[in-house]
Structure 1
Amino acid sequence: MKKIPPVSFIFLFFLIFSLSLNASIKSRIQIDSLKSYSSDTLKNLSKTYRYSDVKKAKVYAEELFNRGKNNNNLSDLAWGYHQLGLINNVLGNYRKSIEQYNKGISISKSIHDSLLLIDLYLVKGTSYLFQKEYEKVLPNYDSALKVSKKLKNLPYIIISNDNIAYLKKEVGLFHEALEIEKENLKLARNLVFDNETTLANLILNLGETYLMLEENDSAIYYSKKALGESLLVDNIEGTSYIYKNLGLAYYNKEDYDRSIHNLEEAIAIIKPFGNQQLLSELHYYKGRSLYQLQMLDDAIASLKASKNILIQKDADHESSIILMDTYKLLAEVYKSNNNYKESGDYFEKYVALDQERDESRIKVIGDLHQNNLQDKDSTIATLASEQKDQEKKYSTFLIIAAVSFVIILSLLINFIRKSKKNKLAFQNLISSIENDKKTNPNPIKIDDAKAKTILNRLENLEHKEFFLDSNFSLATVAKKVKTNPTYLSKTINAHKHMKFQDYANELRINYAINRLREDKKFRSYSVQHIAKEIGYKSPNSFTKHFKNKTGIYPSFFISSLKAYN
């Protein structure tokens, strides 16, 4: 091995030293230059670079925070927490952002900075919203609205109401949210907001509500308007969500090429920021559209990109739902690609994660119940220690005990009545199934040749169980039976005596009843899994239609079947 001459070591040392010195000087210049900036300048710079260069934004936010801490300037310190919290939101670190917002709220109250306090309540509530901790969202939004009304600050009243509307959408109150957002947009037209992205975000939220209501044309119209506003003010984060919403709207309209184009735009925008949650969703939605176009290899690549992001993240509520959907879709894609081994592996992962989430929900309910009991015990102990009049306490106790007894007794009676009613409904349902097996339906006489052809094709789709596909809609079925949606709807009304949606529900619920009756393994699945298996996009929709059809809930039917067999 050749030895390095001593002079080379000396040269190498001076080279490293000079590079280190140069880096140190550059760092010192940067720090010294930051000190010349005012606090307002640091805030604006952090805001400017939050989406385009998050590392640079963090440097400005930390300088503001450190300046407040070192100089005991509570205003700078509170704003420092605010800016660092927003940066963590962009990065998807919602827990960290909530910690910083709480500290900012405490300081804002002490220095009576009401506008900053409103802003902190709003962004804290939104962080909880992203975490799906709904019970913690509304108190923060309500606090922001109360302070805004106290100040009679119309822009912040609009923003607070818009956040409340967003929460309503999350829990399914879409029409209520829509009314709030329409009114907000009217009021906002003639206002100037401190945050130039606010108007764009108001239009974005309205478009998203139309998307949730499956009014796709309106969703696209308002999303494009929001896109125009966002591009004018360089609202990068908002732009990524707009492209996402456009991708979903075009997917619903079965325009899969446009869906993929918009989702790719969103991926390109959000990728540099490191928001892994949103990035995983975008890859999943892109994979879903590619699958519809039967671009199976590309679909697998996109879905695996989503999966790889999610398994590296901390498993939270929303991540587990997307991961579960990703596993299920991967199983379907591999099956279409005739790779049954991979399909089976991913389906097993999907079922395992579904069961794990069910167990987790049961544990959470148990923990909540236990915490509730502990809170009640603590409250009773506190009241007892403060109560001086023992006789009055005893009387109060007797009254509470009597009222509790009456309530419990009435609940018990109601439970027994419902139990009897459910058992009777179950017996009637079982009898109906047995009778249907014994009797053959009379064939329908149809004179109209065109209608007869359509109904024959429809019957063929029923035999193929196409109704189990989540895309079983009036438009897709019309294409399959080679007619237009209007004529198909009229034909079903005339010959099956029901609307198309009722027809779809009838097929799905009958299928579920019979399969649950005959397939023990199917009974072991969760209600959510069964709902997806038979084409419903949400377990609530399945449960509602099952109850309407049978008079009992699916969970009761399943448990009764186990006992019956």
Structure 2
Amino acid sequence: MTDKINKSISEVLPDFFSKNQVDEFQYIFNSSLESKSNTEVFQKENSLDFKVEAGLSYRSQIDLLVTFAENKLEREKFLSLLLYLGQASITNGEFSAAIDVNEKIINLTKDDRNMANLAANAHLLIGEIYSRQASWQNCLESINIAIGLFSSISDVKGIAKCENLLGTVYGDLGDIQKAVESFESALEKSNDELNYTQKGKIEINLGIVKSIKGLFDEALVYFKRALVNYQKVNDKKRIAEIHQNIGMVYFKKGDYKLALNEFDESLALGIETNYQQQIGIVYLSKASVYSSLNDYSLANAFADKSLEVSHKLNDKLTIADVYKIKGIIQKNVSNFLLAENYLLTSMRLNDEAGNQLNLAETYQELGLLYKQMDKITESKRYLNLAMKYFKEINSETDILTIQKLLGDF
């Protein structure tokens, strides 16, 4: 296969088509490119050389393949291909394509009880996309439809997948208690020794909750347990997520060397699998580390790269976080006016997205900025706003930090 076809598509073609059919699709695709110039290929040599593709090439491949497959494959096999393409599109950051593919699955399986599982998974994947874009109402509607379909066929594991996603939504919205309840309910339904992947997903999320609360050792237990599960099935995308989360624990503990090692592991796997959202998140994490190491030039470079990826994906939560770290960088180089603008932008985006945790973290940074600017009233106001939320979720580490800051006035 030529390298012009996206890897996630080329590697799966032999699973669905005969060799002659694969060659036929290759010919169709090559013909579609004859009048086009070559796209820019991304380089691995340096982690900052990752190129964000425009998306048209990948999307055109999906369009051509769906049309080709619809005329070649039996219904069930065609639906299985669509489900795979929907998930692959999410990984590649092609959310519009993913939604279209999953909506096609939903339309093709409408009112067919024998296909309820496929339809439910399609709704769940659409819910996952909306969660990444902070479109909470659409997300919750999709999850609830999926729960109804899974319930109609008594698919307990399917319901567990829905509850796990619900937990991440509640976590993003700052309701940590509801998040924990959803994760624990999902874990109970997935209590199967061989169900490595689903248990691993839930353990990752429970680890994130522990990390938010400052319970770092407990968080590491969950992450390392999940890592073992995903290594059993060699799921490189999830392994990348776990290395990122372990790195964040080390970062919060102030062990920057170990944090960078974990982030580099995550980034390498993210690039290998073209997991674009993960790549954007790791760039942001590396920016945070280099800012803490006072290497503001490198920190800013990684922040800008994260912003580039996140804008392409419309990943609103990461975009808000990038502005926060850019604000911290500018504060540390005494460019207070630009720092204020970045932090207020982060605050606005987090408020619009309903992300209470990130909003509280931005309040804290604004409190630090205004303290440095001798705007004491404003500093106290934002620190107290942050304190209010951290008390709600019982984050002892953050509470103690803000108490100390307020005590210094």
TM-score by length of 1: 0.52
Secondary structure of the structure 1 residue equivalent to 2:263: helix
- 1:176, CA displacement in angstroms? 1.2
Aligned residues of 2:173 and 2:354 also touching (Cα < 8 A): no
Equivalent in the alignment of 2:399: 539
- 1:232, CA displacement in angstroms? 0.5
Equivalent in the alignment of 2:298: 258
Distance 2:149 2:291 in 1: 46
Q: After the TM superposition, which of the residue ranges 104-113 and 215-224 deviates more from structure 2?
A: 104-113
Secondary structure of the structure 2 residue equivalent to 1:538: helix
Equivalent in the alignment of 1:235: 275
Equivalent in the alignment of 1:387: none
Distance 2:390 2:246 in 1: 32
2:197 aligned with 1:155, yes or no? yes
Distance 1:223 1:197 in 2: 13
* Residues 425-464 of structure 1 aligned to structure 2 (within 5 Å): none
- 1:254, CA displacement in angstroms? 2.0
Aligned residues of 2:336 and 2:369 also touching (Cα < 8 A): no
Which deviations, in whole Å up to 9, do the C-alpha atoms of 1:449-506 show, x marking residues without a partner?
xxxxxxxxxxxxxxxxxxxxxxxxxxxxxxxxxxxxxxxxxxxxxxxxxxxxxxxxxx
* Residues 122-521 of structure 1 aligned to structure 2 (within 5 Å): 122-150=164-192, 152-193=194-235, 196-296=236-336, 298-300=338-340, 302-303=342-343, 305-307=345-347, 309-310=349-350, 313=352, 316-318=355-357, 320-322=359-361, 324-325=363-364, 327-328=366-367, 331=370, 335=373
Which deviations, in whole Å up to 9, do the C-alpha atoms of 1:280-313 show, x marking residues without a partner?
22112112112322345654553454355356x1
Distance 2:379 2:403 in 1: 21
Amino acid at match of 2:363: M
Secondary structure of the structure 2 residue equivalent to 1:149: coil
Distance 2:404 2:367 in 1: 24
Distance 2:183 2:217 in 1: 19
Q: Which structure has more RCO (C-alpha within 8 Å, separation ≥ 6)?
A: 2
Distance 1:360 1:201 in 2: 26
Unaligned runs of 5+ in 1: 1-28, 336-342, 366-527, 529-535, 547-553, 555-565
Distance 2:220 2:296 in 1: 27
Distance 1:300 1:358 in 2: 20
Equivalent in the alignment of 1:82: 124
Unaligned runs of 5+ in 2: 1-62
Task: Note closer, same or farther for the CA distance 1:142–1:359 as it changes in structure 2 (3 Å cut).
Answer: closer
Select the residue among 37, 56, 61 that pairs with 2:102: 61
Aligned residues of 2:134 and 2:317 also touching (Cα < 8 A): yes
Equivalent in the alignment of 1:98: 140
TM-score by length of 2: 0.70
Number of equivalences: 337
Amino acid at match of 1:175: D
Distance 2:100 2:192 in 1: 35
CA RMSD of the aligned region, Å?
A: 3.8
- Sequence identity of aligned pairs in percent? 16
Task: Note closer, same or farther for the CA distance 1:145–1:42 as it changes in structure 2 (3 Å cut).
Answer: same
Distance 1:305 1:160 in 2: 32
